[in-house]
Amino acid sequence: MKILQVLTSYEPAWAVGGSITATSNLCRALIRKGLEVTVYTTNADGTGGRLPVELGQPINLGGVEVWYFPYELGGRRAFYSRSLFQQLRENVDKFDLVQAAGIWQWIGVKTSKIVSTSGRPLVVTPHSSLMKSSFYEVGNRWIKRNYWKFFGQKIIDRATAVQFLCEGEREESQEFCRQTSSFIVPNGIDINKYKKNPEKRLALRKSLNLPETALLLLFLGRINPKKQIELIIEGLPSMLKLRPEIYFIISGPADDSDYLKKLKELALRLRVDSQIIWTGLIDHQQVQDFYSASDLMVLPSKAEGISMSLTEAMAASLPLLISNRVANYREIEADRAGLVTEPEARSVKQALLRICQEPGLLAELSKNARISAERRYDIEAVASLMIRAYEDIISGHKSPELYWQ
């Protein structure tokens, strides 16, 4: 089976976010299972710059044939690429199925039109961008509504099927996808890659000049207002009264410089700035060290899909504190892999205080987090499910394990 993936950015554009890691993991696993996988993407690096890659020719990355094309419009996310569209028109008939992401970029709109015209099956993966909380509460609502009305809806209408990552995402996205068939396959990770490593834990704490016994909170992702990092900062003073050695690592690129400034001003005002470590964007290979060094992963977001950093953290036995706006919060809650809160200050503060007041809680959540990751997100099992989805789409069958609707 020959599969083409079309998306705005691909590895090593890790700064774009978890969707890049998820797609890379899937493509490499599909190759291991005998499929032929090609990627058409751009050289957008996720920071507003351009990847130092060869353009317009195939590059082998882990057995995946990757083609990078220059983009003409777009900052952190490529919006338009004339040469990518030309390549797609000329070669779409060579593939059995095309899978595309990029709901909010013209690349997604144009790709859906070219594939639909060719008669090839098209799978669209929104990566949680159509969840109601994301659609209505993040970004400019007027611009989103009009773009969706005139352009975005056409992507879904042209799709043969939509891939959702969990039932929560599908429920929250149904308003925009009622007429198109959908199935559920989660993002996957290499479970063994993220095993907790005591040596890395000590080494990173030493490099950051942190006590071995300190309670270390971690935020890892794009610093964006929707993540509501301020709710954790606001809870630190109360935590420190119960346990003086608490530190909070905030790691990732800033989407919004004004928001970053407000967070730092808040930390100063609350006199917890000495307890916060700002790392900026860290190297992709160093992420595992931060998981091992930390005691709790936090994401009190007001709109979130299945975060790859949360999934990786769970595999590293790192328990979670998340809001109930994270798409798969029900699974995390059911597996007791973390604490689930409302996306507001009081609820988050109560959960943070529980960590300080209940000595055995973190150990229990840590064990459950690893078990949950192994059961739900192992990339080999996820790739097998995706292959079944491709086969279903081509044959017209509806396998029950994919929860077709």
CA distance linking residue 49 with residue 28, whole number of Å: 25
49 plus 149 within the same structural domain = yes
- Prediction pTM value: 0.84
Query: Which pLDDT belongs to residue 175?
Result: 86
242 plus 167 within the same structural domain = no
Query: Which pLDDT belongs to residue 267?
Result: 96
Judge whether residue 133 has pLDDT over 80: no
Q: How far is CA 283 from the centre of its chain?
A: 17
Judge whether residue 392 has pLDDT over 90: yes
> For residue 36, which of 25, 49, 45, 27 has the smallest C-alpha distance?
27
94 plus 54 within the same structural domain = yes
162 plus 251 within the same structural domain = no
DSSP string, 177-200: -TTS-EEE----B-GGGG---HHH
78 plus 227 within the same structural domain = no
Phi then psi for residue 35, to 5 deg, are -85, 160
Judge whether residue 214 has pLDDT over 90: yes
Helix or strand run (H / E) with residue 341: strand 338-341
Report yes or no: 395 and 167 within 8 Å, Cβ to Cβ: no
109 plus 129 within the same structural domain = yes
- Ranges 105-109, 143-147, 264-268, 276-280: which has the least confidence: 143-147
157 plus 251 within the same structural domain = no
Query: Which pLDDT belongs to residue 313?
Result: 95
Judge whether residue 296 has pLDDT over 70: yes
Span 246-269, pLDDT tens digits: 999 999 988 888 999 999 999 999
Tally the domains of the chain.
Answer: 2
- For residue 137, the enclosing domain spans 2-188+378-402
Judge whether residue 16 has pLDDT over 90: no
Judge whether residue 319 has pLDDT over 80: yes
Report, in angstroms and rounded to the nearest whole number, the Rg of the chain calculated over CA atoms: 21
182 plus 199 within the same structural domain = no
Query: Which pLDDT belongs to residue 75?
Result: 67
pLDDT (mean) for 379-385: 96
Domain CATH for 319: 3.40.50.2000
CA distance linking residue 132 with residue 340, whole number of Å: 19
Report yes or no: 326 and 301 within 8 Å, Cβ to Cβ: yes
Residue of higher predicted confidence among 284 and 325: 325
Alpha carbon distances (Å) from 126 to 164, 271, 357, 361, 381: 7, 40, 40, 35, 21
pLDDT (mean) for 310-329: 94
